[in-house]
């Protein structure tokens, strides 16, 4: 199996060839349209909240409530992807997200209500992403599955960059409210595209399983019974939570150091650009112990380089450099996803993915919320610098305690599936997610949860 790493540049035509599959192409276009609008709207909503409240904590809460839906109820809703038709679930999620962002446009809507609506929109994202991820194997031949995942992952990162820059431009050209309206329209457009997939195998409901509770229990055991999977999940969860702080505080940080609103999109886009750049050099295949060690070193080095730049309150372009470097920390989502996706038992893989994505997104929501409170006390530069310093210390601990185990030798609670049923899967813990996330926020991005 080949991840979204270094090998992708040696086979660009193979990745682009996945778009010849019209079903995958429609799924991909729908996801890109909604991602572009979502990232633009999140930046606009943050500006609106900050202008009305003049509080970094309230501004950071936009990221927090957007990701909070992945925790608890998000995992339950994600199981709908296995119980209902993938296409029906995606359509419902798009309609809900279009409605919630449309309601934000009502004049005089209180900030608290807007945040509740942002939470509801975020709550519709886990079932959408779960259904989309589950639909890809239904729409793509097995021998093209890896290329489809790789192409989707790269696309999520690119969508985060374009969406962030587009969001900054929309703030200047048409204003924050119009940016929210464009996002609502993007979800409706996505729904129209997804509607064209109703006659495909992805539209058929999956076979009934053991129930929501049983599925969640099996998925949890699938994650915790393997020490390499546990370490990969812990590594991406902690670094993701701490790395999200600079993105959650990008608007307050820009105001603190005197960066104009027109540069906000560039600042936000700098983080996924850093992710893409570091992904080109970080190992993404091979022994799982080496992948985890390389991920730990990557997070430690990028956090150590970026933290001083935020503490020093560098100017506009210095802040862009700092965001690019800190974004490199999210590149560890690819090798950690390789470890997790190839070691999960197939019979409970989907439920395990839902739990893992929930843990990741929940930790990022918590990191954004705590970062906002810290910014209110310490100031945005010190809050971001402190979060990255903690990420560096944690990553160095991970280097020193890197688990040792031969690849694929971890015991499992259930027997491995027959070779004819086996399919390598990479989950996107970062977009879509997204990348992710892109995400994923960052899940959708890292998600590319797709994941």
Instruction: Work out the pLDDT band at 444, boundaries 50, 70, 90.
Output: very low
Is 310 among the domain residues?
yes
Q: Is the pLDDT of residue 199 over 50?
A: yes
Of 420, 364, 438, 447, the closest CA to residue 39 belongs to 438
Of 359, 354, 364, 365, the closest CA to residue 451 belongs to 354
Structure tokens at 294: 């390389």
Of 360, 304, 302, the closest CA to residue 326 belongs to 302
Q: Highest-confidence range of 53-57, 63-67, 209-213, 231-235, by mean pLDDT? A: 231-235
Is 91 among the domain residues?
yes
Is 293 among the domain residues?
yes
Query: Can you tell me the mean pLDDT for 51-56?
Result: 82
Which is higher by pLDDT, 168 or 313?
313
Q: Is the pLDDT of residue 125 over 70?
A: yes
Is 1 among the domain residues?
no
d(CA 409, CA 302): 31
Q: How far is CA 304 from the centre of its chain?
A: 23
Residues 130-156 have pLDDT tens digits of 778 777 777 877 666 656 766 776 777
Q: Highest-confidence range of 158-162, 285-289, 376-380, 446-450, by mean pLDDT? A: 376-380
Q: What is the pTM of this model?
A: 0.63
Task: Give the CATH number for residue 168.
Answer: 1.20.1250.20
Q: What is the mean pLDDT of the chain?
A: 75
Is 357 among the domain residues?
yes
Total domains in the chain come to 1
- DSSP of 128-149: HHHHHHHHHHHHS-GGGHHHHH
Instruction: Work out the pLDDT band at 411, boundaries 50, 70, 90.
Output: very low
Structure tokens at 123: 């709550």
Is 384 among the domain residues?
yes
Is 218 among the domain residues?
yes
- Three-class secondary structure of residue 263 per DSSP: helix
Instruction: Work out the pLDDT band at 305, boundaries 50, 70, 90.
Output: very high
| Whether the Cβ atoms of residue 305 and residue 325 lie closer than 8 Å to each other | yes
- How buried is 408 (Cβ within 10 angstroms: 0-12 exposed, 13-18 middle, 19+ buried)? exposed
Structure tokens at 227: 């020490």
Is 282 among the domain residues?
yes
d(CA 119, CA 133): 22
Query: Domain range spanning residue 180?
Result: 13-408
pLDDT at 301 (0 to 100): 95
């Amino acid at each position: 199996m080949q991840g979204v790493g270094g090998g992708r540049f040696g086979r660009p035509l193979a990745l682009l060839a996945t778009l010849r599959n019209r079903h995958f192409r429609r799924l991909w276009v729908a996801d890109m349209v909604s991602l572009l609008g979502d990232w633009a709207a999140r930046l606009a909503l943050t500006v609106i909240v900050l202008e009305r409240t003049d509080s970094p904590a309230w501004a950071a809460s936009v990221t927090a409530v957007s990701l909070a839906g992945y925790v608890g109820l998000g995992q339950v809703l994600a199981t709908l992807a296995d119980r209902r038709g993938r296409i029906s679930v995606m359509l419902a999620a798009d309609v809900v997200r279009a409605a919630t962002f449309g309601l934000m446009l009502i004049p005089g809507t209180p900030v608290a209500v807007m945040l509740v609506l942002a939470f509801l929109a975020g709550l519709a994202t886990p079932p959408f992403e779960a259904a989309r991820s589950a639909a890809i194997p239904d729409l793509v031949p097995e021998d093209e599955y890896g290329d489809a995942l790789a192409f989707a992952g790269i696309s999520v990162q690119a969508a985060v960059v374009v969406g962030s820059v587009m969001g900054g431009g929309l703030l200047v050209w048409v204003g924050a409210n119009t940016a929210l309206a464009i996002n609502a329209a993007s979800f409706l457009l996505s729904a129209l595209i997804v509607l064209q997939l109703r006659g495909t195998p992805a539209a058929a409901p999956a076979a009934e399983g053991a129930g929501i509770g049983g599925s969640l229990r099996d998925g949890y055991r699938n994650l915790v019974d393997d020490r390499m999977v546990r370490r990969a999940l812990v590594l991406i969860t902690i670094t993701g939570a701490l790395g999200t702080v600079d993105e959650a505080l990008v608007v307050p940080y820009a105001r603190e150091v005197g960066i104009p609103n027109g540069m906000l999109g560039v600042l936000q886009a700098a983080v996924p650009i850093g992710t893409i750049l570091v992904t080109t050099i970080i190992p993404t295949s091979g022994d799982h112990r080496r992948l985890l060690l390389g991920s730990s070193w990557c997070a430690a080095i990028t956090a150590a380089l970026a933290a001083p730049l935020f503490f020093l309150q560098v100017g506009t372009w210095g802040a862009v450099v700092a965001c690019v470097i800190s974004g490199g920390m999210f590149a560890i989502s690819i090798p950690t996803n390789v470890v997790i996706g190839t070691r999960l038992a197939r019979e409970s893989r989907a439920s395990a993915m839902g739990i893992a994505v929930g843990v990741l997104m929940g930790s990022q929501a918590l990191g954004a919320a705590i970062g906002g409170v810290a910014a209110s006390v310490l100031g945005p530069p010190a809050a971001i610098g402190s979060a990255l310093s903690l990420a560096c210390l944690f990553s160095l601990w991970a280097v020193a305690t890197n688990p040792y185990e031969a690849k694929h030798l971890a015991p499992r609670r259930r027997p491995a599936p027959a070779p004819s049923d086996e399919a390598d899967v990479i989950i996107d813990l970062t977009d879509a997610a997204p990348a992710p996330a892109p995400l994923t926020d960052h899940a959708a991005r890292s998600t590319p949860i797709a994941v």
